[in-house]
């Protein structure tokens, strides 16, 4: 069986981190024949292609894609766009991570170096878990989320789709985090967070609604 190509959609900072991770995965598993970037705004060259060029020169049966974007709503839109064209989403899991047998991860998930994932964790499709995150037992992360470096998710926590967790935040056990929420950097979340709420601080408090679904204005 011939190896597939890997396209990383997004050539910014997260894209470069994802490329580095994919290279290390490839060094262990020899999974992809080559790795390239897709970016509609960066200067095009042999390593960076536009989406229109990818659709012309690559076959969905021979290419899988990873979404390298830290904005949850854009992760959702890009994943929807590429899968509608028949491309599968690739998961990138650091070779240094040991996953329990009952952990379930969806297509397009990333687990970067230093993540600790405990038993019976569920991670939805197209969610990115950055370096050093801790996902405790029986926690559930939805689709299209972004967990920044160093997040701590305690046991039996449920995080809904398109949520953004800022670096170093902690979510207490048995909480429910609604969809399209934003948890601020270093926040200590000790109660449920409702749909589209933005919370910051220690303890975390509501500051505004995430009306437009965007983290980065």
Q: Return the CATH number at 138.
A: 2.160.10.10
Average pLDDT for residues 78-98, to the nearest whole number? 97
Average pLDDT for residues 2-22, to the nearest whole number? 94
CA-based torsion, 159, 201, 75, 131: positive or negative: negative
Residue 24 φ then ψ, to 5°: -70, -40
Residue 164 belongs to some domain of the structure: yes
Percentage of the chain lying above the pLDDT 90 cut: 86
Same domain, 68 and 149: no
Same domain, 40 and 112: no
The pLDDT value given to residue 17: 98
- Residue 186: CB atoms within 10 Å: 15
**Residue pLDDT, tens place only, 50-83:** 888 888 888 899 999 999 999 999 999 999 999 9
Of 61, 90, 119, the one marking the end of a domain is: 90
The pLDDT value given to residue 46: 62
Of 90, 124, 152, the one marking the end of a domain is: 90
User: Which positions are annotated as active-site residues?
Assistant: 137
DSSP string, 82-120: HHHTTPEEPPEE-TT----TT-EE-TT-EE-TT-EE-TT
Same domain, 121 and 193: yes
- The 3-state DSSP class for residue 9 equals strand
Of 90, 115, 148, the one marking the end of a domain is: 90
Decide: pTM greater than 0.85: yes
Domains in the chain, number: 2
Q: Give burial (CB, 10 Å; 0-12/13-18/19+) of 100.
A: exposed
Please, which pLDDT band fits residue 131 given cuts at 50, 70 and 90?
very high
**Mean pLDDT score of the chain, rounded to an integer?**
95
The pLDDT value given to residue 217: 65
- 70 annotated binding-site participant: yes
Give the domain extent around 124. 91-201
Same domain, 63 and 150: no
Taking the C-alpha atoms of residue 18 and residue 158, their distance in angstroms, rounded to an integer, is 26
Same domain, 119 and 196: yes
Assigned token pair, 183: 């948890």
Residue 210 belongs to some domain of the structure: no
């Amino acid at each position: 069986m011939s190896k597939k190509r890997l396209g990383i959609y997004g050539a910014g900072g997260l894209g470069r981190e994802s490329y580095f991770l994919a290279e290390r995965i490839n060094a262990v598993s020899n999974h992809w024949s080559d790795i390239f970037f897709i970016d509609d705004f960066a200067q095009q060259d042999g390593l960076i292609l536009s989406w229109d060029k990818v659709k012309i020169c690559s076959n969905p049966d021979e290419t899988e894609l990873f979404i390298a974007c830290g904005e949850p709503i854009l992760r959702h839109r890009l994943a929807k766009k590429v899968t509608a064209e028949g491309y599968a989403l690739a998961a990138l899991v650091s070779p240094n991570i040991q996953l329990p047998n009952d952990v379930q991860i969806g297509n397009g998930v990333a687990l970067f170096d230093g993540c600790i994932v405990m038993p019976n964790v569920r991670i939805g499709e197209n969610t990115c878990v950055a370096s050093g995150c801790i996902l405790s037992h029986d926690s559930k992360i939805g689709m299209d989320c972004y967990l920044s470096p160093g997040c701590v998710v305690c046991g039996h926590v449920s995080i809904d789709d398109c949520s953004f967790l800022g670096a170093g935040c902690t979510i207490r056990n048995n909480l429910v985090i609604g969809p399209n929420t934003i948890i601020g950097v270093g926040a200590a979340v000790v109660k449920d967070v409702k749909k589209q709420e933005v919370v910051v601080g220690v303890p975390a408090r509501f500051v505004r609604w995430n009306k437009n679904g965007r983290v980065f204005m």
